[in-house]
Amino acid sequence: MNRIARTAAPLLALGLAAGACSPAGSTSGSSEEGKAEITFLTFETPNLDAKYWDGAIARAEKKVPGVSVKKLVAPSTDRTGYAKQLLASGQFPDVMIAVSPSGFAESGNLAAWTDKELAPFTFPHSNPIGGKIYQLPYNTQPTPLVYYSKDKFKKAGVAAPPKTYQELLDDSAKLKKAGINPFVVGGGGKDAFAASFLWTALVGTDVYKKTPDWMVQRRADEAKFADADFKGATDKFVQLVKMGYVDKAGLSRDYAATERAFLGGKGAMYPMGTWFATAADKNAMKDDIGVFPFPTDDGSPAVPSYTGGGMSVNAKSQHVALAKKFALAFQQDRRNLDAVVKSDGAIIAMKGYTPPDDMGPVYTATAKVYDDAVKDKGIVNAFLVETGDDSLLPGMVEKSYAFAQDVIAGRKNADQVTQALDEDKRRGRRAVLDEGAGVGGADPASALFSGHGGTPLLVGWRR
């Protein structure tokens, strides 16, 4: 994700609001009403605006007597980067949502969730760090699927969505010949992550489908980015650009502008996370939008997905127990869940939950693609989205976004990207061993923490 300017003024203002007497690493205290006040770091987007968060917080507060919640809003989509700033300034929030736990957990700054607390969740042990869970796994988002314009496919003579990668190439050639841009992508400004979705898809189909624990092997130096499978997936990304199938203008567009570009007819296909479904269902174009999983060479399913995105709790908060109760109440509130499904296209990973009956056609089609992949055992990890023991080392996610931008701009090929990733991984491992504790200090694994761009959750919360 994008870097946040490390200016003193926002932190000073936040510090004055939180209270100068709070202990380092925590902003909790007592409210004027005699209730325990906890701070909650969240974010606002066009889909999840202030009204949504205020209502959701109020409902959860009512279920936890004795707690008062102070909302903190991250100034950009990089909530993880902002949380690091708050930690460094002694203002780490009591509760946070969709903040990557990597680094925070290893340095002892997050409270682990117990099996009893995780019992309501469908996949309770998603994204473990050192065998423990530090972020509630309440939301699954395939990232990416491919949304497409049925009308543009028809105009180019494409009868149906591609089932194999070769069919995808053939269809892209038809679209280009018809004067239609095949892929709309983003990646400009603060939203560098949006350049990476084709790469995420290709690593899912060509690497993780074949070797589900590939990233675990890479972290153990039993595999290399420059090995054939990963380099081959990266080269497919490079070749899509070279063939003119990827709109390079996307590098000047932030996330919102990229979404507008697709909905405005600037291209036929849009690789994006499932949160796009609800934005599509609110658009006049909704009946023209279809969705398919990015195809593998042989046509078997491989849908990159991430389950997580929920709340984490500050282990050093004055009110850990109350913070946990609030987080669980927030995540299990039916109206909160319905609201995030309707506003952000979430596929809720909570036992017994069913989405509202009035969801639109794009969300319904999106959920079917995911459900079919689950039935066919076609779910794989999502490269650059993982946040647990099988994720990239701290410091490498943001660099990978930059590499994706370089590929789209034509500045780097597969050899250059994979060699650079291997070198970054080697330097990162050496730094972890040599530098000792990083921000928050208790664990050598956090040595590179200050350079970690991080991913939320859940990629869907990046807008």
- The answer to whether position 70 is within a domain reads yes
- How many Å apart are CA 275 and CA 462, to the nearest integer? 10
Q: Does one domain contain both 165 and 275?
A: yes
In a domain, 402, yes or no: yes
Segment among 100-104, 192-196, 319-323 with least mean pLDDT: 100-104
Task: State residue 393's pLDDT score.
Answer: 82
- Which regions of 321-454 does DSSP assign to beta strands (E)? 347-348, 379-381
Tell whether 389 and 404 lie within a shared domain.
yes
Note the helical H segments in 220-319: 228-242, 255-263, 276-281
The whole domain housing 295 covers 145-306+382-429
In a domain, 459, yes or no: no
Q: Same structural domain for residues 336 and 389?
A: no
- For the cut 60, the answer to whether the pLDDT of residue 281 exceeds it is yes
Q: Phi and psi dihedrals of 71, rounded to 5?
A: -80, 130
Tell me: do 335 and 425 sit in the same domain. no
In this structure, which amino acid lies at residue 452?
A: H
In this structure, what CATH number is given to the domain that contains residue 61?
Answer: 3.40.190.10
What dihedral do alpha carbons 93, 97, 101, 107 form, nearest 10°?
10
**Tokens describing residue 81:** 């980067």
303 with 38: CB under 8 angstroms? no
The DSSP annotation for 82-135 comes to HHHHHHHTT---SEEES---TTTTTTT-BPPBPHHHHTTBSSTT-S-BTTBB-S
Strand-pairing partners, residue 181, are: none
Classify residue 375: in a domain, yes or no. no
Q: Are residues 63 and 100 in the same domain?
A: yes
Residue 439 resides in a domain = no
Query: pLDDT by residue (tens digit) across 339-368?
Result: 889 988 999 999 999 999 999 999 999 999
Is there a domain that residue 434 lies in?
Answer: no
Q: pLDDT tens across 4-41, in order?
A: 232 333 333 333 333 333 434 455 555 556 789 999 99
In a shared domain, residues 219 and 294 = yes
Is 372 a domain residue? Answer: no
Residues 396 and 288 in one domain: yes
Q: Are residues 62 and 108 in the same domain?
A: yes
Are 131 and 161 found together in one domain?
A: no
- The 10 Å CB-count burial string (b at 16+, else e) for 154-178 is eebebeebbbebeebbebbebbbee
User: Total structural domains in the chain?
Assistant: 2
At residue 31, the pLDDT reads: 53
Is residue 185, in this structure, part of any structural domain at all?
Answer: yes
Given the structure tokens 């999840």, which residue do they identify? 48
Are residues 347 and 208 part of one domain? no
Where is average pLDDT lowest: 44-53, 187-196, 212-221, 277-286? 44-53
Question: Could you report the per-residue pLDDT of 134-192, keeping only the tens digit for each?
Answer: 999 999 999 999 999 999 999 999 999 999 999 999 999 999 999 999 999 999 888 99
| Same domain membership, residue 273 and residue 174 | yes
182/301 same-domain check: yes
Q: Which of 25, 174, 2 is nearest to 78 (CA)?
A: 2
